[in-house]
Amino acid sequence: MIKRIQQRFALSNKGAKDFCKGVFWTTLLDIALMLPAVFTFFFLEDYLRPILDPSASVANSLCYYSIVALIFMVAMFIIGFVQYRSTFNTIYEESANRRISLAEKLRKLPLAFFGEKNLSDLTSTIMDDCTDLEHTFSHAVPQLFASVISVILIAIGMFFFNWQLSLALFWVVPIAGIVVWIARKKIYQDFKENYQDKRAVTEHIQEGIDTIQEIKSYNQESDYLEKLDSKLRQYEKTQTKGELLTGIFLNGAQSLLKLGLASVIIVGATLLATGAVDLFTYLIFMIIGSRIYAPISEVMNNLAVLVYLDVRINRMKEMEALTIQQGQTEFAPDGYNIEFRNVDFSYESGKEILKNVSFTARQGEITALVGPSGSGKSTAAKLAARFWDIQAGKIYLGRQDISMIDPETLLQHYSVVFQDVVLFNASIIDNIRIGKRDATDEKVMLAARLAQCDEFVSKMPQGYQTIIGENGETLSGVERQRISIARALLKDAPIVLLDEATASLDVENETKIQAGISALVRDKTVLIIAHRMRTVANADRIIVLDNGRVAENGSPAELKKQNSIFSRMVNRQMMKL
């Protein structure tokens, strides 16, 4: 039972158990809300019967009924209080756990997943979808199940009490339910279209924010806004269509329910006239009839909400079904040589990036990956750190297959400096300390000096405590790159990956950055990706990639002597100088 609820609603084991408790207490509350009708029935029967039958007497005093009323009120309050805690509080806890679980899932996914997904899509899943699930589960789903259960229990009791009036009261319920059930598939399809259109609007807005510079530079504001208006109109259209369809079917089903009370009035009056029922029975069915349709209407509304919820639940299930990267958390390599052995890799089926690639980057040496754009240099470097998983072949670190090592454990042995530096809206010292969270200020300062950061930090108003804005917006490209190198220096990992770390710099600034890099790579296993030949001039080994294959492999001096791709690249760049 718990497993089925988990799978149906994408809940944790604890969430499924809490959900069952919430349904139980909500059912109890629905039944408790019928207590006023029960109280009214017995009170009227006791006090009106002597009026109709002079020989009868009042069985209980007003004091008795006052005490009973007070007990009923206290019972309803206690049940309502427990019901609130067992639904709202536990659902909010489950929602928090769901967000954490999704974040953990994303953290363990290969980077290929993020290359295929839009940032706004992931953000909407974690925030908007979780919020919708949280609201629906706290306000609708337990109430739906509880309403169904309480209505069934009350209906059974009433059929035992008087089957004719009960039949008159409940005959409309299955018909109204059939109407809603028939509409369910169409409502789901409309909700799904609306969900996709909403995502399209969100993604377009996110794209506009990310590319605002290009949009303004090329006078594309009108085109961008026109496309946004089109997406908004489509979203509005599907939203209106969905709401209209849902309203037609739900209001139609609820209108059918009203016929039940009319049936009770007519059938009850007939039975009263023939003496088949007494006045009190007739009155109690009238009172219950006016109350019983409220939870049934709630069921109708919540069925539509559940259909809406299914779109979000299916999205959560898709996320949970994604394959994560796993492996051993204990890792003791035999040295830090990186070996590629017959490696094949593609981002998508049919488009191979690397084909049968084999080479070794040795500890204590600088190995440079060079080649034309799109040859697979950056891909190979990222595969060495298991940012993606390969399709064929093996990659070894210290004679151990990295596919068997947990990525987080593996990355403890890597320092990575990319061309595109990511900084946080925090102080300079905190941005550098990301390399090693428990590092002292002295060690951070030392890494910063080695990375030539003192030169620009000393000019800032608060020095290393200066807040640098979102992604370091107050810094130049050179300054941002130096902070990135300082991070890597602070981490002091035995393997260093440098992916076009100086590609965007002029010669003067590249020379300054190289001083920091020289300190970073000393006695490490170093893998450098570069287009500039002067960057790899001091490398111990050059691996030339061309069309995803290893075209050349040797020292710079060896390759320069050959009429090779590397020698031609060197000559072309020398001619430009």
* Model pLDDT, residue 397: 92
For residue 155, give both structure tokens: 């209906």
* Model pLDDT, residue 56: 63
* Model pLDDT, residue 141: 74
Structural domain count of the chain: 2
Q: Which of 277, 82, 69 is nearest to 164 (CA)?
A: 277
For residue 158, give both structure tokens: 């009433």
Burial class of residue 232, CB neighbours in 10 A (0-12, 13-18, 19+): middle
74 shares its domain with 150? yes
Contacts of 357 (CB under 8 A, 6+ apart): 340, 342, 343, 344, 376, 380, 393, 545, 548, 549, 550
* Model pLDDT, residue 401: 92
Note whether 478 and 512 are within 8 A (CB): yes
Q: Which of 512, 572, 556 is nearest to 365 (CA)?
A: 556
Q: Would residue 332 count as lying in a domain? A: no
Q: Would residue 61 count as lying in a domain? A: yes
Q: Would residue 326 count as lying in a domain? A: no
Cα–Cα distance, 295 to 289 (Å, whole number): 11
Q: Would residue 331 count as lying in a domain? A: no
* Model pLDDT, residue 340: 93
Burial class of residue 66, CB neighbours in 10 A (0-12, 13-18, 19+): exposed
* Model pLDDT, residue 502: 62
Q: Would residue 327 count as lying in a domain? A: no
Cα–Cα distance, 133 to 306 (Å, whole number): 10
In SS3 terms, 248-291 reads as HHHHHHHHHHHHHHHHHHHHHHHHHHHCCCCHHHHHHHHHHHHH
Burial class of residue 37, CB neighbours in 10 A (0-12, 13-18, 19+): middle
Range of 97's domain?
2-321
For residue 407, give both structure tokens: 């990525």
Q: From 321, 355, 382, give the residue that closes a domain.
A: 321
Please state whether 452 falls in left (phi above 0), alpha (psi between -120 and 50) or beta: left
Q: Would residue 149 count as lying in a domain? A: yes
Strands 495-499 and 525-529: parallel
298 shares its domain with 350? no
Q: From 321, 354, 370, give the residue that closes a domain.
A: 321
Q: What are 462-466's contacts with CB under 8 Å, separation 24+?
A: 462/427, 463/428, 464/427, 464/428, 464/429, 465/427, 465/428, 465/429, 466/427, 466/428
The pTM of this model reads 0.65
Q: What is the CATH number of the domain that holds 59?
A: 1.20.1560.10
269 shares its domain with 380? no
Q: Which of 271, 293, 294 is nearest to 282 (CA)?
A: 271
Cα–Cα distance, 522 to 526 (Å, whole number): 9
204 shares its domain with 287? yes
Strands 541-546 and 549-554: antiparallel
Q: Would residue 330 count as lying in a domain? A: no
Q: 328 in helix, strand or coil?
A: strand
Contacts of 323 (CB under 8 A, 6+ apart): none
* Model pLDDT, residue 342: 93
DSSP symbols for 471-489? GGTTS-HHHHHHHHHHHHH
284 shares its domain with 352? no
In SS3 terms, 133-169 reads as HHHHHHHCHHHHHHHHHHHHHHHHHHHHHCHHHHHHH
Question: What's the gap between Cα 459 and its chain centre?
Answer: 42
Note whether 506 and 476 are within 8 A (CB): no
78 shares its domain with 221? yes
Q: Would residue 509 count as lying in a domain? A: yes
Contacts of 27 (CB under 8 A, 6+ apart): 145, 146, 149, 150, 153
87 shares its domain with 190? yes
226 shares its domain with 369? no
Q: Which of 1, 17, 155, 186 is nearest to 86 (CA)?
A: 17
Per-residue pLDDT of the chain (577 residues; tens, 9 = 90+): 777 776 767 777 777 788 788 888 888 887 787 778 777 777 777 776 666 566 666 667 778 888 888 998 998 899 888 888 888 878 888 778 878 887 788 777 777 666 656 666 667 677 777 777 777 777 777 777 777 787 788 788 888 888 888 888 888 888 887 887 777 778 778 877 887 888 888 888 878 887 888 888 888 888 888 988 999 999 888 888 877 877 788 778 878 877 888 888 888 888 888 888 877 777 777 777 777 777 777 767 766 667 767 777 777 777 777 778 888 888 888 889 999 999 999 877 667 889 999 999 998 888 989 888 888 888 898 899 888 888 899 999 988 999 899 888 888 899 888 777 888 888 889 989 988 888 888 888 888 888 888 888 888 888 888 888 877 788 887 888 888 888 888 888 899 888 876 655 566 666 666 666 676 677 788 888 877 777 777 788 889 888 889 888 888 888 888 777 878 777 776 655 4
* Model pLDDT, residue 229: 92
404 shares its domain with 457? yes
Contacts of 181 (CB under 8 A, 6+ apart): 303
516 shares its domain with 425? yes
For residue 273, give both structure tokens: 């006239």
Radius of gyration of the chain from Cα atoms? 35
Cα–Cα distance, 416 to 408 (Å, whole number): 14
Q: 72 in helix, strand or coil?
A: helix
Q: From 263, 292, 321, give the residue that closes a domain.
A: 321
Q: What is the CATH number of the domain that holds 359?
A: 3.40.50.300
For residue 344, give both structure tokens: 């094949």
* Model pLDDT, residue 555: 85
427 shares its domain with 530? yes
Q: Which of 453, 536, 529, 525 is nearest to 487 (CA)?
A: 453
* Model pLDDT, residue 507: 65
138 shares its domain with 247? yes
Q: 107 in helix, strand or coil?
A: helix
